[in-house]
Structure 1
Amino acid sequence: MKHIFTGLVLATFLFSNLSSAQESPEIDKKYTKEIDKLAKAKKVQTAFSLITEQEDQTMKDLVTLTEVLAPPFGEDKRGKVFASMLMDAGIDSIWTDKVGNVIGLRKGTSGAPGYVGVDAHLDVVFPEGTDVTVTKVGDTLKAPGIGDDTRGLTMLISMLKAMNKADIKTEKDLLIVGTVGEEGLGDLRGMKYMFNESGLNIDSWIAIDGGSIGRISNAGLGSKRYKLVISGKGGHSWGDFGLANPHHALGKAIDVFSKDAWAYTSGDIPKTSFNVGRIGGGTSVNSIPFESWAEIDMRALSPINLDEIEAIFKKSVEKAIAEYNASGVKGEVTYELEQIGDRPSGELPATLPLIQRAMAATQYFGVEPSLGRGSTNINIPVSKGIPSICIGRGGQGGGAHSLHEWYMNDETGAESIQLALLITLAQAGLEK
């Protein structure tokens, strides 16, 4: 199982909340030794074998969960199926919190305060009514959501089964969680509740989401999202010609913002982006609309740049609407800004024990670990300085967020579950 580690290529970090950028952080030998010793423990080896033996059932679980659609803000049905699987796998206790997170508790032996959390998200991007029937073509399973992140949920079930069958006990309590609201306008509401309102003392977090084995995110890509709604009186395109038109005002607002934002993002700053993703409004081609709207996404590596691009957006809209109303139109338009997304940025140093353990565990499986960033569930704990990582789900897959999404299991499928287990046991402590 163990192979020779061939190299380490890691990202250069630019976050302003770290004292300095880190180039090619190394794995401390003490963590390599810790992981090697842990992985060779008899019960851990037994659990690894069980994970491989369970692969057929894990794939059946994948089909079952995939065919229970979990649209944005509609994760309840899938949550119940996932909870049932956790109970069948032998979780100690289970509950669903007020926002819909399904939380399983596996008690540790030390009585030490603080939980180690492991999660995959329940929700998919697809709306109610989407056909999520799984089809099989050769070794490939096809269905919307089958990879992102349904595969992650099945990994949690396999891990729990293997721990129980191998009689593995951890020193610290484990939380095994199916979270809600990771995708799109869900705006990480599940994780925001877990870390801001639940009252749970969580001291580290391991998320399983997209990507191949070896992917380790230790940074959160922040974003701010708004819905701009412009309103007017509305009327007939001929009879009321000249009346202030929300669509025209929106076009101006987009133009002004695009020019100002492009000038800013083209400067010498860490990568910062902006996008007008959706627009709408109006009733007919021959009607002056009474409402026009657009949804805007802004992202940045640095929290400072994220705040600055947000300020540019607000100032640009205010400027554009004022200029439009002063352009000679009859009446005026008004506007409202509704924040529909707020994901904080953040980055954790590679020297943290959790990140060192994740890299050492990845190395144990003969895979080159790579640190990076993404917009995932760990944005919340990372922004609070809580040790957190997001790891890949292994196997092969593609077409995420499309109706043609697919997943094919291979040898890295079982290894990705074994890797997740190894990291979790290293962080929670194997009972001595």
Structure 2
Amino acid sequence: MTLYLGAFFIAFSLNIHAQHTPDIQKKYTREITKLGKDKALKKAFTVIDEQDDETMEDLVELTEILAPPFKETERGKRFASMLEEAGIDSIWTDKAGNVLGLRKGTAGIPGYVGLEAHLDVVFPEGTDVTVKKSGDTLKAPGIGDDTRGLSMVISVLKAMNKTGIRTEKDVLFVGSVGEEGLGDLRGMKYIFNESGLNVDSWIAIDGGDLGRISYAGLGSRRYKLVISGKGGHSWGSFGLANPHHALGKVIDVFATDAQSYTSGDISKTSFNIGRIGGGTSINSIPFESWMEVDMRALDPRNLQEIEDIFKTSVEKAITAYNRSGIRDQVTYELIRIGDRPSGELSPELPLIQRALAATSFFGKTPQPGRGSTNINIPVALGIPAVCIGRGGKGGGAHSLDEWYLNENGPEAIKLALLITLAQAGLKK
């Protein structure tokens, strides 16, 4: 079991859509301004502009390699080859399937700085991911979330190598697995809990406009409830315990108790029964019924409480149903299918201050927010992490009509580079 702790961990509730923009300390504004005037960095910015067509070609190529949940291998292979072509020092794919490229620093300072986007998309096998162009707009499932982020990671590496920029610290360029849905952040869980890598800061790119910055994680718990019975004919076995009937009672009890809790004086907490299924035919008593439940909360304590309510509701409803005079009984199994921790980092941390100052450097007002992204894992462990937007313009995420317009797209890549160099230290 992982214990989610950290010196800078704060489990207070802030609105998911907006947070108060923290003050940017003058020393970080000065640091970023000085770095932004560096000749090597200015040259790298120019290179990012000059290679924008290449970046868009990388985006199209990667988008057209479908990477469904748990099947990111082929896209990962191509992403790895792109890192190699861009001149990464070393590269490997770990046991979880994450692709990691290492660019060595010069100072031998312990701890890696990670720059990452996720490989997976929400779409299943068979989805048409051919990129179609409408004017200047590119349309394809997954083109923004998060394939654009992958192409940005490649662009940053190319710019650093073409200009000879060196960092004091080692930098990891990463394509991670398992960010979406039932992937349950498995790639990040492996990196931070099992890989043994000494990562001391993380910069994720994942959707949103230039200026979006998150350093807080929205936690979630997800369960599949499976109710089982003997099953039989709707007429001949009438009166036999029916898993569907039991499931209906569970839904009623849980929805009532959970609604009472979430409407109380607590920070935002949600619950949703997203899928139900089971049964063989209209004239058969099912032998199995199931549902999938998603619960989310800003505060880790509330997340635990809504989970406890769910478990109690299931036990209460099943017990009541089995005592209701039906013949035989139903049994049930609760399977946890998702666990994303909540957490928030102090905005006083150097990485977050640098990200805020760098955003302001590009003339944008930082827009702090909270989401369910790859940074949930390092944030919950107290490891400095931010998630920034992929810039440009886009919409339709998680839909077949997803689109991306490369309007000032290079600016977001420059922002990613600036934050990375500020955190890893630009060698003079």
- TM above 0.5, yes or no, is yes
Deviation at 1:15, TM superposition (A): 3.2
Deviations 1:239-294 (A, max 9, x none): 11111100110011011000000000000000000000000000111110000000
- SS of the equivalent of 1:147 reads helix
The alignment status of 1:278 with 2:275, answered yes or no, reads: yes
Paired amino acid for 2:352:
I
Residue 407 of structure 1 corresponds to which residue in structure 2?
A: 404
Q: d(CA) in 2 for partners of 1:24 and 1:398?
A: 25
Deviation at 1:34, TM superposition (A): 0.2
Residue 41 of structure 2 corresponds to which residue in structure 1?
A: 44
Deviations 1:296-325 (A, max 9, x none): 000000000000000000000000000001
Residue 351 of structure 1 corresponds to which residue in structure 2?
A: 348
The alignment status of 1:217 with 2:214, answered yes or no, reads: yes
Q: d(CA) in 2 for partners of 1:62 and 1:91?
A: 19
Deviation at 1:372, TM superposition (A): 1.3
Residue 4 of structure 1 corresponds to which residue in structure 2?
A: none
- SS of the equivalent of 1:368 reads coil
Paired amino acid for 2:237:
D
Residue 419 of structure 2 corresponds to which residue in structure 1?
A: 423
Residue 249 of structure 1 corresponds to which residue in structure 2?
A: 246
Deviations 1:312-370 (A, max 9, x none): 00000000000001111111100000000000000001111101000100000000101
Q: d(CA) in 2 for partners of 1:397 and 1:33?
A: 32
Q: d(CA) in 2 for partners of 1:227 and 1:235?
A: 24
Give the total of aligned pairs.
416
Paired amino acid for 1:47:
A
Deviation at 1:16, TM superposition (A): 3.4
Contact map agreement 2:113 2:171 (CA 8 A) in 1: yes
Q: d(CA) in 1 for partners of 2:35 and 2:163?
A: 14
Contact map agreement 2:246 2:321 (CA 8 A) in 1: yes
Deviation at 1:371, TM superposition (A): 1.2
Deviation at 1:237, TM superposition (A): 0.7
Q: d(CA) in 1 for partners of 2:138 and 2:217?
A: 30
Residue 98 of structure 2 corresponds to which residue in structure 1?
A: 101
Residue 302 of structure 1 corresponds to which residue in structure 2?
A: 299
The alignment status of 1:27 with 2:24, answered yes or no, reads: yes
Paired amino acid for 2:262:
T
Aligned mate of 1:265, from 262, 265, 270: 262
Q: d(CA) in 1 for partners of 2:310 and 2:84?
A: 48
Contact map agreement 1:223 1:300 (CA 8 A) in 2: yes
The alignment status of 1:158 with 2:155, answered yes or no, reads: yes
Deviations 1:136-163 (A, max 9, x none): 1100111110110000000000000000
Q: d(CA) in 2 for partners of 1:23 and 1:272?
A: 20
* TM-score, normalised via structure 1 length: 0.95
Contact map agreement 1:14 1:302 (CA 8 A) in 2: no
Q: d(CA) in 2 for partners of 1:48 and 1:274?
A: 45
Aligned mate of 1:70, from 67, 70, 79: 67
Paired amino acid for 2:12:
S
* TM-score, normalised via structure 2 length: 0.96
Contact map agreement 1:14 1:270 (CA 8 A) in 2: no
Deviation at 1:210, TM superposition (A): 1.1
Contact map agreement 2:117 2:149 (CA 8 A) in 1: yes
- SS of the equivalent of 2:97 reads coil
Structure 2 segments unaligned to the other structure (5+ residues): 1-8
Deviation at 1:168, TM superposition (A): 0.3
Paired amino acid for 2:410:
A
Residue 5 of structure 2 corresponds to which residue in structure 1?
A: none
Paired amino acid for 1:377:
N
Residue 135 of structure 1 corresponds to which residue in structure 2?
A: 132
Displaced runs of 4+ in structure 1, greater than 2 A?
Answer: 13-18
- SS of the equivalent of 1:113 reads strand
- SS of the equivalent of 2:332 reads strand
Q: d(CA) in 1 for partners of 2:21 and 2:87?
A: 41
Deviations 1:107-127 (A, max 9, x none): 000001000011000000001
- SS of the equivalent of 1:148 reads helix
Residue 325 of structure 2 corresponds to which residue in structure 1?
A: 328
Residue 7 of structure 1 corresponds to which residue in structure 2?
A: none
Deviations 1:39-72 (A, max 9, x none): 1100000000000111111111111000000000
Identity %: 76
Q: d(CA) in 1 for partners of 2:268 and 2:400?
A: 30
Deviation at 1:25, TM superposition (A): 1.8
Residue 5 of structure 1 corresponds to which residue in structure 2?
A: none
Contact map agreement 2:12 2:344 (CA 8 A) in 1: no
Paired amino acid for 2:298:
L
Deviation at 1:215, TM superposition (A): 0.5
Structure 1 segments unaligned to the other structure (5+ residues): 1-12
